[in-house]
A and B are shown apart, each in its own frame.
Chain A
Amino acid sequence: MDKTKRAFVGGLLAAAMTAGIAAPSIAQQRIEIQFWHAMSGVLGERVDEIVKRYNDSQTKFTVVATNKGNYDEVINGTIAAYRAKKAPHITQIYERGFMTMLLSDAIVPVQDLLTEKKKPIDWGDFIKPVASYYQYKGKLMSMPFNSSAPILWYNKEHFEKAGFKEPGPTWQELDKQLYAIKSKGISECGSSLAGDFFWSLIENYSTVNDQPFGTKANGYVGLDTVFVYNKTKVVEQTKRLKKWIDDGIMQIAGQGLSPEQLYTSGKCSTFFASTAAHGSVERNANIKWSATYLPWEEGTQPRNSSIGGATLWVMKGHKAEEYDGVADFLAFVASPDLQVWWSKVTGYVPITNKAYEAAKKEGYYTANPTREIAILQLNRGTPTANSQGFHFGNYTQSTFALRQELESVWANKKSPQEALDDAVRRGNEILRQFEKLHAGKY
């Protein structure tokens, strides 16, 4: 028995050793840069294309891109890897993870790194709400990569049949139109509720209508921020959505069916969703589709909308020469040429004004006018304290609480005011815990 056991252990050791030797020998000349991302399917192929282009463009570094699942899985994978001291060099983290990453003590601020490595980046050229979301004390902490904004998708035919040229610019007008479309029997469903409605219909509602979401400039100037959206126009917005759902104007797709399908199949007349849906809408829609800006409240001056998406974070703990490659690759990602291409093939917005101008010059937006909506919406006016973005700690958790409470509203279990009060209470507990943990660090 002992002998077989020894042989077994010996075999294991041998296997481990050969594996250990084999791995580094592959890339002896080129320095390897690990890049973890959450882009699957077609988007994943596009990321692979970026990496291939970069690797072919120079001989010093090899970027290895790995899809680690969805956003949740990537941030968790990164955390686990960091704790095991095997973190990737670059990792793609969603916007809601900003504060977690910023105060993690595990990252290298991107602007510092690229400045140190003397990469010629025009830091003032990023689209404002993109930059402001990811800035801390005036510096970009991570490299903007895939940014989007919600827009209003609509079915042209439905609106035309009801005698409207296009959706009205305000919520009040849109409300009348959707009820008219339904009562005329043109479509039984005015709008399909997107899975990320808390983003398109609550958060972005607040930024466009210049409503505060939390105190301390939405968390930008202090960890002692508290949520206040239960005292703003969000209450009216929730009541409106609830009414729409009750009247069958707005429908919830439910598990097993994608909300986008309800729109692209022609069942629902509108859909509030990301501009990044361009890729799939163009491919799947059987309808005459178009898009326009998110509506705003009658009598208000509309502001910029906020962004969604993810950025590339640089992790601590690697060798200096590897950071040369990291900086080089990130500069490549931010270059206007690549951004123009990326935005065209994915539907995400170009992250710099240079890239936007370049695409415009080509006549790209004349040919594809709906592609320009998101960027015009983001560039509308100067961002205010309410519209620059959201810097709340553990933001995924409080977003989830908000979403859960709103579901209770749809289910008639709570009134809009009660639910928003509860969401704020739960959210504030999460903020206090974050404050306690990171006291004095922000």
Chain B
Amino acid sequence: MKKILSLVVIAALLCIAGASSVATAQDVALTLWVYDDGRLEVLNALGDQFEAEYGVALTVEVVDLSEIRNIMTLGAASGEGPDMIIIPHDNLGPLVENGSAAPIDLGDKVDFFLPNAIDGFTYDGQLYGLPLAVENIGFFRNTDLVPEAPTTWAEVAEVGAALFDEGAIDSVIGFPDLTYNAYPVYTSFGGYIFGRDETGSFTVDDIGMNNAGMVAGLTWIESLIEDGLVSENIDWEASHVLFETGRSAFIMTGPWAINRFDTAGVPYAISAFPAAEEGGEPGYPFLGVQGLVVNANKDNVLLAQLFAVDFLATEDNYQAIFDAEPRPSAWASIFESASDPNTAGFNEAGVNAVPMPSIPAMGYVWDAWVNAGALVAQGELTPQEALDSAVEQILAQVEG
């Protein structure tokens, strides 16, 4: 009796083991990691559609961006991670440098996309991602205080100083930081972080961080602080609170602030950034591009590329993604048809936006840049000294 029982058990176990091994051999599925959950639903719906059409299931998971980054670089050698990820493009450089991003060949479809979105996911002349959405900051003004958008920074200071003297405001313009959110000030004077080489890639060999334009931009900010028109305390939260309570006439910030400004009920409008001088080129912000990257370390590269290029990249799918979460689409016709005034304002502000450099050296820029701004705000160093020192810090770390 016992013997028979054990035989039965063993036979059953073998069957289960055998069955499951057959099942795994047939089970091809794609995994996709996203770092925010805004698009989870629509991506799941698109995954079902993909399965119906092509017979392959798609699993979408929300994973912390830093975790995605770690798995895609440290786990590269052992082939860990999902088949595809959605990331902001400035994370691309290290993935390419570690051989973790597979090229994407969009063929003729490339013409449907915004050129600067494609530019964002291009590294060393090769496209490594399918751009989904773009994002840039805009120039906000309180329309009660300033009905007409100023066209030069000098005008911003002048209009603001008048309001300040009347006691209408406590701060002329909000700078959430003196780096990313203040970048258009620098660019309008001709500043930039990294220049491009002949292939169009950003390069450490051309570093603009202490050029005359950057210094001029920082000098303008310094003059506001010295005149007491802007607090020396450069603080994200404070700058937003001052604007939403009507105590600040301008702020430079992104789409994430829309909700809180609407809730606070402050009357605002978003427009293009001012220029350095009358008739000059307006300042341009960094462009952030979100896109889908195929993990080169997995066995399913071809399948994932097929999902991205042959399935996902259609106007209908992009429209569905845009409808689920209205961020400016990387699909040019959808981007252009956005009609609400906020989106139009951001688009106007970002019309010449340049993708944030994604080369690994960019990682060294932020801390050095933050420090340069702080040292100038505190009056410890002049803009030129502070930016020279920042460049030195970046190069010291790049050269390793």
Q: Are these two chains actual partners, yes or no? A: no
What is the interface of chain A, defined by CB distance below 8 A to chain B?
Answer: none
